[in-house]
Chains A and B, each alone.
Chain A
């Protein structure tokens, strides 16, 4: 397999790359047939093995029980996990978002209760953000929490909750001050076990072949200690949580590159009607276009890593990386359809499928990447207004 050359991220990162590869060879034995593993699947046993190795806290500060690795090392780790196509759905939420946010905003009791369990891979989270009338405009959320003595009582509905059917806890955004102005000043974050009475999880099938959930909250009673970061301080917590996702950008690029590498490998090895696919001028042109785009995505991710290390990454820089990479993921899959034909559109366990269904998986998941975490339209507006200074 000929790949685009790698970058020199320093001796520590290179050593970690070798360590991760060796560890994966011992600890991840994917099946070689049928539908390929999808990286957002939940595999609790694998998550616990990662926890035992200390890698769920790979980027957390040492005083919080983590390894305090640099952004470059975290990037290398994310790249290797993506290339190995391991299931990270059981821990990615706590590793990249909930854990760092709790370190920043949690009480000592919360840290003592949650962080050791996170590090062992023994407690998973989903996110309760979007609602029927609050998607991109998250500040308009209506799920409300009303104080009742020392407790809070929560009522409302959340939508499109990934891992809602599997997670142990939900990281829930609810309105605790209905009169707050601006609207986002009246939101709080609650950490709630998903088996709390009054929570009703209804899974439905998403385009990418995995479920997401509608979750109903009907007089769900939780103690005050379930609030993270203080009452009405949820917007700050949410923004911190989004910023914590920065290393995920490197992982997203590695996922795209992983599919691209498999595509070029297939093209090199395949002939149709006695003619090598690799000798087709149209295919070569489109491979060249994708290769250049992947190099751009890698460079944008590298910039994010560098800026993250120096604490200088802006919302606009993160948005640029997210927009380009997520839309590249769509282009890659559609180009693969054009090159490979209908066999690439078959399900992963169909008899004649190419690349074990990863192209269809890639395309449908790429849509999720474009519309999730702040749609790309929201991101472009952020680039224009916050990055370029155009008027609001």
Chain B
């Protein structure tokens, strides 16, 4: 911690605010972690069994995942205070026919400020 202060003071005195932000010649810019990990499981409200093939997406975002045979999903998306997550049955009647669902989640400040923000959702879908 002491060394971090010293580093910041010397770097700051160099009058270059980016002394700590660098990229190697043939490398990429640094990743400052503007993302949120969304994980969870989708099950049937009636049977409690996992549902495969449900598309899980975020409004106004390109990222999405499909649930696996255990109904599980996991993907990173942009980080915002409010995230609207959509669950859509896209495989028609292959695993029965489930109603779509939208869930608005409000991300707590403690999650937003954590090193790797993530949320876990258990979602039940009703059969049509």
A binds B: no
B interface, CB within 8 angstroms of A: none
A interface, CB within 8 angstroms of B: none
